[in-house]
Amino acid sequence: MRRLAVRFLFLVLILTFGFSASLFANSILYTFSTLSGTTGSFTFEDSTPFTIGTGVFTTNHFPESQFPTPYVSARSEQSPISGSFGDYLFSGTANIWWNDFQSPYDSALDQGQQDYWILHSGVSSQMVLGKSLTFLGLYDYKFARTDMGTSFLAPPPGDVGDIVDFQWLAEYSDGTHESGGLASLTLVPEPSSLLLLGFGLAGLIALKKKFPNLKSCTQL
């Protein structure tokens, strides 16, 4: 009976994970804030394909055969995007792309090259004070030795408050634009992961209550 109960619980957890993933894993949520106090968020479709490329960066300062810097880059296809920026509620299409220099870094460092993670989005919104939002860009530039990780994960900023390396740009329907430094750019964990974690903890608690002397799976 114990084995049957445990197997039934594991089956419920697996089904729950599959259901929650299909229900919630349609988009990825980011939040961000600017140094001027404006906050915002946006969702990016997690099924968006990325084109991955590789190459070698060289300079005239170092012989190509001795100090080339390989790199990996990726660019997404256009994805639906929606979110908020201050008082604006926007929707449109966007691309994410990034570049990650690999060891050895000599040529890239010699020329001051940087890794980067960039969001470009053409959007539309409601009118606020006589103008609407038409473009939103977020930019995270990093020292070339930084590991950029996966394409969806924006790396932590190198210098918060540096409007050159960690910045935003907004353009409006009247031809004006604003830009400045970012204070944060965060990927929010998807609900399916949180739901799965909650059910997993609940299952462990239930097992512990039913079998208080249970110390390992080998005892089931």
Query: Looking at the domain assignment, is residue 155 inside a domain?
Result: yes
Interval 115-133: pLDDT, tens: 999 999 999 999 999 999 9
Interhelix angle 191-210/2-24, rounded to 10 degrees, is 170
Determine whether 63 is exposed, middle or buried from the number of CB atoms within 10 Å of its CB (0-12, 13-18, 19+): exposed
Instruction: Say yes or no: 156 and 55 in one domain.
Output: yes
Interval 137-170: pLDDT, tens: 999 998 888 877 666 777 666 555 566 789 999 9
Q: Tell if the pTM clears 0.85, that is, is over it.
A: no
Q: How many domains does the chain have?
A: 2
Q: Averaged over 61-67, what is the pLDDT?
A: 66
| Contact partners, residue 14, CB within 8 Å, separation at least 6 | none
Instruction: Say yes or no: 2 and 101 in one domain.
Output: no
pLDDT of residue 36: 93
C-alpha distances (whole Å) from 106 to each of 55, 63, 73, 80 are 15, 11, 18, 38
How does the average pLDDT of the chain come out, rounded?
A: 77
pLDDT at residue 216 above 50? no
Cα atoms in the Cβ-side hemisphere of radius 13 Å centred on 24? 16
Task: Give the model's confidence band at 211: pLDDT under 50 very low, under 70 low, under 90 confident, else very high.
Answer: very low
Distance CA 84, CA 135 (A): 12
pLDDT at residue 70 above 50? yes
pLDDT of residue 161: 57
Say whether 208 sits in a helix, a strand or coil: helix
Tell me the residue range of the domain where 54 lies.
Answer: 35-188
pLDDT of residue 58: 87
Q: Which two tokens stand for residue 149?
A: 């990780």
Q: Averaged over 53-59, what is the pLDDT?
A: 90
Instruction: Say yes or no: 19 and 65 in one domain.
Output: no
Query: Looking at the domain assignment, is residue 30 inside a domain?
Result: no
Residue 210 main-chain phi, psi, to 5 deg: -75, -35
